[in-house]
Structure 1
């Protein structure tokens, strides 16, 4: 199977479209201090359509291709793989896998009303730019008729309704096991950034292509994440599964806290990370997506802060499991100095327990 070749720069997702949301006073009141998990209907339609493209069928890292849900998707929808709109989506994915984000990320800008798609009052054009790549028109608007026709022809809405119980189980598992509130509280104790609400959009078809965004409108900041269901791997212990799921979620959330001080210390980061070959393995596929010292540093910092969280919340033996697993994952992704980076951050934090993490940047960077 073809492997996922795109490593998204999560800190910059949707940066050019933050203003294209509409957080009314009613919306703010209903969502303040809350997080929700949703398997969004239109977004799931996009996930399914991408899953049956040639690119989706060949890319097991991008699409979750194991389990009964995927088989049910193939059973009902693969017969439509030669529809013109599916070929159009495939051509977009061949051009760049970032188009997966533009398609699924803008799914929340519409809702179904019968067989028709109607515009959301909240999300106008939520996914307009990723890492310097931009689209000038919301693709859901652009392909609205084709999406409506595909959904009707394939009987998508009945499929979605049939699986609502399964979607509810995914949501319930998140609410029971994800510890979003705990992570949120810890991050706001250790950074100055304040977030008003979180939304997790989940799909059983998501595998390795996760992304996050921050929307800031009408004095209200909302973090939006696109994530797979929580994992429950039989070959892992309960604590190992918890650590894995925490890492997946935490390293999406904390991008939104790490980004501000990273931007503020760009000059020092550029100097510390000027020797790119020291910090990354250029031979690893996907590492070229991290185009600047700031992006490389930010990825290291995102995972190192996750390990700080583990240090504060887990027994030493479990922290060491998280540490070893994270160093291994980062090495596989091309970030070869994760151990050294984290060791120095842990030392600086231990020396300055009264300081928030973002105020440790100058001291920490001077030691790299």
Structure 2
């Protein structure tokens, strides 16, 4: 909608996996001249991340319910109705939006309920290959349902207003990640320009089994004098990994162990190869920066959705995939070491990742939001 400034309301909260794609969309919408207001819980992660990004957060309070304790549904519904009323008060005080966007989780229910009652169009975005209950519940009244992965379409078919209402956009990635450069990343982690960098991470909480498998390969990896490793362990697992690696002073010059990486964009931009779990945000960022990857899905993820996420890259030729139970075997070690030493193969994987167009996800989703407001 060139030349038309929209008022956009966004509901996202609970986890960085919900909030960061929402912030990526907000950044894109703001760059197009639109005004964005968030709805979420000030005591949760969005209460920190949204204001830090420069956007207004209207506080509401909701709770989910425990399916093993059905009586908690009553209190959840009471809070949802109060939150919906609060959203209505914000609309009355500050103006109703032209369109709203929900990124899953229960925090989106009050906003979408109020929009439905006011006949304000709304768009849903699903980050995972296995959609959550909130998005599935709200899909029937959504103008569009946007999915990050093709495999998520099936869960919404029959729930939406028409099959053209389901749009594959990819999972938006924040500009701070997309704008990271290899040169700046190498400088941030003190990696020589002509070195091969292996980045290992298991998400914000780490991945103990992945840490153990990589630690066992220390001698074989460091046998390559050109290889540098940046290993993010997860905060709770850091001390154990440091102890198990038992790096000498010389080895620490080429193997950095950190509990958490806050500048993930720079880390990915600097990397030649990644070993990672396959959460939705990790997959999106790896694909957006076209980094070759070895993916080890978390085996206890709901509906085994991390395996489905990993197939998105592996089936495109951008990654290799190993089940968690297979990384103690020789095939994992052999493939990882082969990739470290084969720049040509890694470059072919990069080309496959670029072909997915994941770096355009925020723009594609913003296009859908504008289209929803125009209908």
More strand by share: 2
Could you say whether these structures have the same fold, taking a TM-score greater than 0.5 normalized by the shorter chain as the test?
A: no
Q: Larger RCO: Structure 1 or Structure 2 (Cα < 8 Å, ≥ 6 residues apart)?
A: 1
Bigger-Rg structure (1/2): 2
> What TM-score do the two structures reach when normalised by structure 2?
0.28
